[in-house]
Structure 1
């Protein structure tokens, strides 16, 4: 391969990558159209101890101030991952934690939805032309292991409805297998 061919190949790859990234950016803007306005509002989720009160919505400002000056919470924020931090302080700061959960879970649930919709392709490939995905679709997108024993233990039996007007076709005389049964 000559250097000109190699350069042409690299140029084509570069154009393909630029096109892909541009399309990705367009999709992100389509999914999150008011991203720029929300980024300032959401800043408290990523770094609550470096935000100002003006950056937070009015309904959670009081809780935000309490959180901002809680040195124990600040230490936890440095040690814990983002989700664990907000879970830990859910009961102490319910309003602000709820707002944080709305934002943080948006990305995970979007990912799970996308993964669930792309799963039939992988499953169909796995089973070739037989598309029987119910079991795989139910379990694959979630990392949560079902607790089958707990579900079975909590299952309530549904009472059987008995019909009092049912006609019994039982007989005391044995029938031969060749004799037809009347209906």
Structure 2
């Protein structure tokens, strides 16, 4: 959404969201020549990269909203196999208070009675993506840290490798690995 707004503002030569550019234009005065196409191309590329990286999240975002807060979702937007479970859940004050007291989705869905088996299966799809909420938080922290540190050089392959290393419980024997490296000889 923000990038679309930025592109629109660049087309309109508005720099409200680009304070450094705005200051440079004001200093340059009327003689400033806009490089709209270049700025717009950069923003379009950025938008494309975001779509590539987060496209999967958009596909499941409506389901993720249901998972994150089953009491605030619209029944019409819930998959049909869950609608009856959701109506029963949303009209149950005891379960609603349990949800807000626990503040832990894994524990909440685990505490649901067997009447809510469809909803529990649905929740398991999201819970098992990361195995635990701790691992989920750890993974997102790692992704955010790496993206900030190496933003333009981070490819999908790098991201997969970083996540794999960061979320494994194996420890590397650095001394053994280093001893197996053959030094380069000069010719």
Larger radius of gyration: 1
Q: Quickly name the TM-score band, shorter chain normalised.
A: 0.3 to 0.5
Q: When the two structures are superposed, what TM-score results if normalisation uses the length of structure 1?
A: 0.47
Write 1 or 2 for the structure with the bigger share of helix: 2
